[in-house]
DNA sequence: CCTGCCGCCTGCGCGC
DNA sequence: TGCGCGCAGGCGGCAG
């Protein structure tokens, strides 16, 4: 479940479901799921066995669980990753990649990932931010997020606006769905050049980003199918509130003009052609 | 440096 | 029915 609202939904589930519990043992079922752990699956499992999970944190789309060892279990869900709390007697699904059993023998944690773009690793420095996440910008829901620095970072880039929004070193947590939703809410075209974008437009976009992320978190995220679920396997319902993403040919909920779909970086972008007109000098 | 393109995976729905 | 193709919420690495 890839973007910030979906990851936050999972984080909240982990906070309730695994914080304070002690890991008994870890079973890596697919080595690709720990490919970011340099020393391999055996080392990964050894560093986790016997450790207590002290918290559940998130920056953008990355999650981490600080451990009583001073390390942290760092995770990214990629395109299809799930962290599920399930009864140990429940049969393994075909995409089970990693299993965590706990000393209390209650619900186990399973990392399930169809496409294996996600993964977990043990990293040093868990209490603040793991070193491996240092290059990821703060996300807009972080109390320490600096709005002025964001404006400066956007205008420093020489690219199109949506590329900047998706760049996790500029601002983290935004993916293809919420980029389109925020641009629609701010009435900005995805190809607006960043370096000449008026400060007020950047700030309006940032407000729209925060609003759509807040609304989506409240709805438990966006789930188009069973791949995107919380730790209990339940879907979010924000898909019913989408105004742009996936709405090709549907009337814009502001002006009634049909939403269009366009190619963008080998994927899709959705916008209202009237509310979000093509800029004079687009950057693609 | 910075920007943008590609590869990494599996499965689904569609048209032929 | 079967098959190939396009498509999907991601990122890091690397070329230019």
pLDDT in tens, A225-234: 888 889 999 9
Q: Which residue has the tokens 């706990």?
A: A102
User: SS in 3 state form for A33-55?
Assistant: HHCCCCCHHHHHHHHHCCCEECC
Residue with CA nearest to B10's C1' atom: A115
pLDDT at A149: 97
Residues found in chain A: 284
CATH 3.30.70.120 for the A147-271 domain, yes or no: no
State yes or no: pLDDT of A49 exceeds 90. Answer: yes
**Catalytic-residue membership of A267:** yes
Enclosing H/E stretch for A96: strand A96-102
Band of residue A160 on the pLDDT scale cut at 50, 70, 90: very high
Superfamily grouping for domain A4-133: MutM-like, N-terminal (3.20.190.10)
A162 catalytic per annotation = no
Rounded Cα gap, residues A193 and A214, in angstroms: 27
Domain with CATH 1.10.8.50 in chain A: 147-271
Reference A77, options A93, A98, A91; nearest CA is A98
Q: Within 7 Å: CB of A97 and strand B?
A: no
- Determine whether the distance from the CB of A160 to the nearest atom of strand B is below 7 Å: yes
> CA A209, CA A215: separation in Å to the nearest integer?
10
Is a pLDDT exceeding 90 seen at residue A2?
Answer: no
Give catalytic status of residue A2 as yes or no. yes
Mean pLDDT of all residues in chain A? 96
Strand B nucleotides, any atom under 7 Å from protein beta carbons: they are 2-6, 8-11
For A223, the token pair is 């789930």
> Has residue A1 got a pLDDT over 70?
no
Q: Could you check: is the Cβ of residue A60 within 7 Å of any atom of nucleic acid strand C?
A: yes
Q: Are A3 and A175 in contact (CB under 8 A)?
A: yes
The model's pLDDT over A164-181, given as tens digits with 9 standing for 90+, comes to 999 999 999 999 999 999
Instruction: State residue A193's pLDDT score.
Output: 98
Q: Which residues pair with A98 in a beta bridge?
A: A28, A111
Of residues A126 and A56, the one with the higher pLDDT is A56
A259: tokens are 């939403």
State the sign of the Cα–Cα–Cα–Cα dihedral A147, A151, A154, A156.
Answer: negative
CB of A94 within 7 Å of some strand B atom: yes
Task: Check residue A230 and report its DSSP letter.
Answer: -
Where in chain A are all domains bearing CATH 3.20.190.10?
A: 4-133
């Amino acid at each position: 479940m890839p973007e910030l609202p979906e990851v936050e939904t999972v984080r909240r589930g982990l906070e309730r479901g695994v914080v304070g519990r002690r890991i008994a043992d870890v079973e890596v079922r697919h080595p690709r799921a720990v490919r970011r752990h340099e020393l391999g699956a055996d080392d990964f499992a050894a560093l986790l066995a016997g450790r207590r999970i002290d918290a559940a944190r998130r920056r953008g789309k990355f999650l981490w669980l600080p451990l009583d060892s001073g390390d942290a279990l760092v995770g990214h869900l990629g395109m299809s990753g799930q962290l599920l709390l399930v009864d140990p007697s429940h049969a393994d699904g075909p995409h089970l990649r990693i299993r965590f059993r706990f000393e209390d023998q209650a619900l186990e944690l399973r990392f399930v990932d169809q496409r294996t773009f996600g993964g977990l690793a043990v990293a040093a420095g868990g209490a603040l931010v793991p070193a491996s996440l240092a290059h990821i910008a703060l996300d807009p829901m972080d109390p320490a997020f600096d709005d002025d620095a964001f404006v400066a970072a956007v205008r420093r880039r020489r690219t199109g606006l949506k590329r900047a929004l998706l760049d996790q070193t500029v601002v983290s947590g935004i993916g293809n769905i919420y980029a389109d939703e925020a641009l629609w809410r701010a009435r900005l075209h995805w190809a607006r050049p960043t370096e000449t974008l008026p400060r007020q437009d950047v700030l309006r976009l940032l407000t729209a980003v925060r609003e759509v992320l807040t609304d989506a978190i409240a709805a438990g995220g966006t789930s188009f199918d069973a791949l995107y679920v919380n730790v209990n396997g339940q879907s979010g319902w924000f898909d019913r509130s989408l105004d742009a993403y996936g709405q090709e040919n549907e009337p814009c909920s502001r002006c009634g003009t049909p939403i269009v779909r366009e190619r963008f970086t080998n994927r899709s972008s959705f916008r209202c052609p009237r509310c979000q007109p093509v800029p004079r000098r687009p950057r693609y």
